[in-house]
């Protein structure tokens, strides 16, 4: 008997029992179900929730693979084993050694993220007696992409458990959540374990260990893996070229460094009509406008170079898009259809404010070098309100039209 | 219970569980968020509220027939304020260190909604003995939640209980810390108290489904 029919028999056996949802989920995840709907009106469509989720995951896989190479590359570069790659296709970047280190560090994060998250989803499905929802498929992939490489696995497990339960299940599960679960997880990590989520040590694998070795009295050079935003905030010189920033050969969270691959993923999402181009575009416009305002303030001379905000405010406005994770947030986080605004006009407002606030936090709050996740979470909360006013505005407009006609 | 009639005993036991001032009446949340980062502060706050609410309820109950209803809120405030000042002075005299961290919140007991809520809802309509029991019961229910929240926040946030390290030393890396455990800084922030209170409400209502509204 094939695996499929085996699974089908098991499923039939457990039908009606408490564990049924768990087996159903396993079966339908791997295969097309044997049963089809016969009665009533139904739509036959390929783009169900699972397909949608898988498309997003496909869009993220390049970022993940690049993240592995980059993790290994940053590690080796910091140790001084290899030379700088001098560009995207540099010989010392796409090497087997880099990939092995990257896989060694990144894959456990992916496994823990999916393991803990799906276990909780299955648990809730069994307790509540509904089918397992696919909501965690994308979250589970997003989470490893937005954390630093050296994050201890147990912290990730705690954060995932928190994010899935508090961020999603208490609201009623997939499709009902107000906050983006992946960002809830990141926010939890950020506030719970700040030493592992920010600073100049966590972005390059090995820097923390090296620090501990130095503290223990060994005679070694410290490794610094400051992100570009961190360097700006502290007024240090930026050693990375624009090309490095764009292609992503810089320290940062695992999957958010390569702007090129994020743009490709974003185009793929727009092409498959899964990501909303309105949100992506308006987020970028919002970020650029805030950047322009800051540039204007600097140009007008309203702020002196002695101010601690001067460094980040004087960053050319377009450069805000290739440093930090605003692009990743815009493409993969803000577009989450559950937590974003639903109306077209609402999407423009929602996206614009995300970009606007992200850059504002980035510049003004040195404690949070990157404000994208906070901005998106904040706008997640406001999305239903935005939608409400857009819908009410529409109702009012139409009411007026009726009145004009009857008058 | 021989000392109390069944009805009187209920006045004390009800607020501990099925009519808890924090988790069911959702009163006094503000102080529950503010001071529960440490168990010691939670305990002192609980005792302070026990004192203020127990005596305050009796005083208001004794005066219930002579307070003009138009100015009853002002009278209630004066009673609470005097009692709170006593608590504050006692703390300053006998627990100065603690009073420095707590004094703002002790002052804010005046505005603690549980106290005004019990004055309004119970003491104004019942005799002193019942009012006393009701005050004690509600204050105990409040203190109970404070201690539970404080327990989790202090244990997970600082790794201590009543200031005594129980998980090892985070700097010397002993105990749990030697295997990579770290304190959860989020636990020390007020949002986490809100989430813990929410979890308590969740557990309580799933165990007793009659508490779920609509």
HEC readout, A45-104: CCCCHHHHHHHHHHHHHHHHHHHHHHHHHHHHHHHCCCCCCCCCCCCCCCCHHHHHHHHH
Task: State how far residue A157 is from chain B, nearest Cα, in angstroms.
Answer: 13
DSSP A185-209: HHHHHHHH-HHHHSSSSTTSTTHHH
Tell me what the pLDDT averaged over chain A comes to: 83
Residue A102 has a pLDDT of: 86
Residue B214 has a pLDDT of: 63
Q: Chain A residues with CB inside 8 Å of B181's CB?
A: 154
Q: Chain A residues with CB inside 8 Å of B202's CB?
A: 170
- Break chain A down into helix, strand, coil percent, rounded to 5: 65, 0, 35
Which among B185, B189, B195 is the nearest to A193, CB-wise?
B185
Q: What is the mean pLDDT of residues A91-119?
A: 87
Every domain of chain A and the residues it spans: 49-274, 276-407
Interface ipTM:
0.81
Contacts of B180 (CB under 8 A, 6+ apart): A152, A154
Look at strands B164-165 and B160-161 and give their pairing.
antiparallel
Q: What is the mean pLDDT of residues A40-66?
A: 80
Residue A353 clears pLDDT 90, i.e. is over it: yes
User: Which chain B residue has its CA at the smallest distance from A190's CA?
Assistant: B186
Cα three-residue angle B200-A140-B177, rounded to 5 degrees: 60
Whether A188 has its CB under 8 Å from any CB of chain B: the answer is yes
B147 or B163, which is more confident?
B147
Q: How many CB atoms lie within 10 A of CB B2?
A: 4
What whole-number distance in Å separates Cα of residue A361 and Cα of residue A217? 38
Residue A34 has a pLDDT of: 62
Which among B180, B182, B186 is the nearest to A188, CB-wise?
B186
What whole-number distance in Å separates Cα of residue B193 and Cα of residue B199? 10
Whether B172 has its CB under 8 Å from any CB of chain A: the answer is no
Residue A250 clears pLDDT 70, i.e. is over it: yes
Q: What is the mean pLDDT of residues A12-25?
A: 71
Burial class (CB in 10 A: 0-12, 13-18, 19+), B128: middle
Residue A352 clears pLDDT 90, i.e. is over it: yes
Q: Chain A residues with CB inside 8 Å of B198's CB?
A: 170
CB pair distance less than 8 Å for A192 and B184:
yes
Percent of chain A scoring above 70 in pLDDT = 89
Percent of chain B scoring above 70 in pLDDT = 97
Pick the range with the lowest mean pLDDT from A103-107, A216-220, A402-406.
A216-220
Residue A220 has a pLDDT of: 67
Whether A191 has its CB under 8 Å from any CB of chain B: the answer is yes
Global pTM reads: 0.85
Residue A32 clears pLDDT 70, i.e. is over it: no
Which among A166, A194, A195 is the nearest to B195, CB-wise?
A166
Confidence of residue A158 (pLDDT cuts 50, 70, 90): very high
Q: How many CB atoms lie within 10 A of CB A44?
A: 6
User: Which chain B residue has its CA at the smallest distance from A166's CA?
Assistant: B195
Whether A215 has its CB under 8 Å from any CB of chain B: the answer is no
Residue B24 has a pLDDT of: 79
Whether A127 has its CB under 8 Å from any CB of chain B: the answer is no
CB pair distance less than 8 Å for A192 and B195:
no
Confidence of residue B1 (pLDDT cuts 50, 70, 90): very low
User: Which chain A residue has its CA at the smallest distance from B158's CA?
Assistant: A192
Residue A116 clears pLDDT 70, i.e. is over it: yes
User: Which chain B residue has its CA at the smallest distance from A154's CA?
Assistant: B181
Per-residue pLDDT reduced to its tens digit, B80-110: 889 888 888 888 888 888 788 777 777 778 8
């Amino acid at each position: 008997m094939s695996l499929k029919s085996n699974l089908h028999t098991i499923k039939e056996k457990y039908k009606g029992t408490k564990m049924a949802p768990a087996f159903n989920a396993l079966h339908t995840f791997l295969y097309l179900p044997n049963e089809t709907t016969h009665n009533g009106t139904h739509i036959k469509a390929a783009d169900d929730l699972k397909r949608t989720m898988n498309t997003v995951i496909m869009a993220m896989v390049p970022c993940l693979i690049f993240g592995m190479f980059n993790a290994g590359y940053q590690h080796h570069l910091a140790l001084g084993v290899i030379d700088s790659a001098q560009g995207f296709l540099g010989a010392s970047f796409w090497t087997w050694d880099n990939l092995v280190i990257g896989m060694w560090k990144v894959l456990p994060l992916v496994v823990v993220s999916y393991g803990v998250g799906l276990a909780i989803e299955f648990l809730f499905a069994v307790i509540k007696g509904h089918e397992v929802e696919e909501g965690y498929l994308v979250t589970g992939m997003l989470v490893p992409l937005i954390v630093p490489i050296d994050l201890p696995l147990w912290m990730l497990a705690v954060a995932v458990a928190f994010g899935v339960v508090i961020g999603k299940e208490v609201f009623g599960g997939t499709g009902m959540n107000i906050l983006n679960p992946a960002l809830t997880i990141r926010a939890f990590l950020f506030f719970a374990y700040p030493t592992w989520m920010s600073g100049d040590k966590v972005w390059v694998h090995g820097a923390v260990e090296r620090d501990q070795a130095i503290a223990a009295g060994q005679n070694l050079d410290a490794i610094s893996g400051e992100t570009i935003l961190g360097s700006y905030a502290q007024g240090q010189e930026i050693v990375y070229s624009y090309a490095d920033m764009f292609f992503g050969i810089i320290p940062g969270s695992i999957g958010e460094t390569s702007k090129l691959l994020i743009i490709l993923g974003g185009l793929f999402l727009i092409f498959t009509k899964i990501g909303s181009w309105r949100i992506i575009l308006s987020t970028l416009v919002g970020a650029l406008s805030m950047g322009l305002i800051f540039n204007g303030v600097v140009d007008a001379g309203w702020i002196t170079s002695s101010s601690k905000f001067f460094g980040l405010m004087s960053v050319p406005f377009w450069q805000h898009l290739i440093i930090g994770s605003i692009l990743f947030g815009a493409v993969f986080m803000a577009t989450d259809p559950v937590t974003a605004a639903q109306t077209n006009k609402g999407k423009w407002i929602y996206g614009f404010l995300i970009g606007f606030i992200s850059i504002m936090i980035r510049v003004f709050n040195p404690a949070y070098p990157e404000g994208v996740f906070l901005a998106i979470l904040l706008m997640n909360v406001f999305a239903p309100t935005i939608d409400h006013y857009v819908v009410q505005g529409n109702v009012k407009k139409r009411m007026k039209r009726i009145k004009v006609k009857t008058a | 219970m021989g000392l109390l009639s069944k009805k009187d005993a209920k006045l004390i036991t009800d607020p501990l569980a099925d009519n808890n001032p924090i988790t069911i009446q959702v009163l006094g949340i503000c102080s529950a968020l503010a001071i529960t980062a440490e168990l010691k502060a939670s305990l002192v706050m609980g005792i302070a509220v026990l004192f203020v609410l127990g005596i305050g309820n009796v005083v208001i109950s004794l005066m219930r027939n002579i307070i003009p209803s138009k100015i009853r809120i002002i009278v209630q405030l004066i009673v609470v304020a005097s009692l709170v000042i006593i608590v504050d002075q006692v703390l300053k005299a006998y627990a100065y260190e603690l009073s420095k961290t707590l004094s703002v919140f002790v002052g804010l007991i005046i505005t603690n909604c549980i106290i005004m809520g019990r004055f309004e809802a119970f003491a104004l309509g019942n005799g002193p003995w019942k009012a006393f029991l009701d005050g004690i019961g509600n204050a105990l229910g409040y203190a109970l939640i404070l201690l539970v929240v404080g327990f989790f926040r202090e244990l997970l946030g600082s790794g201590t209980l009543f200031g005594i390290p129980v998980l090892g030393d985070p700097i010397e890396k002993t105990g749990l810390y030697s295997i990579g455990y770290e304190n959860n800084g989020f636990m020390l922030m007020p949002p986490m108290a809100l989430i813990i209170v929410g979890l308590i409400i969740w557990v309580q209502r799933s165990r007793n489904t009659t508490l779920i509204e609509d």
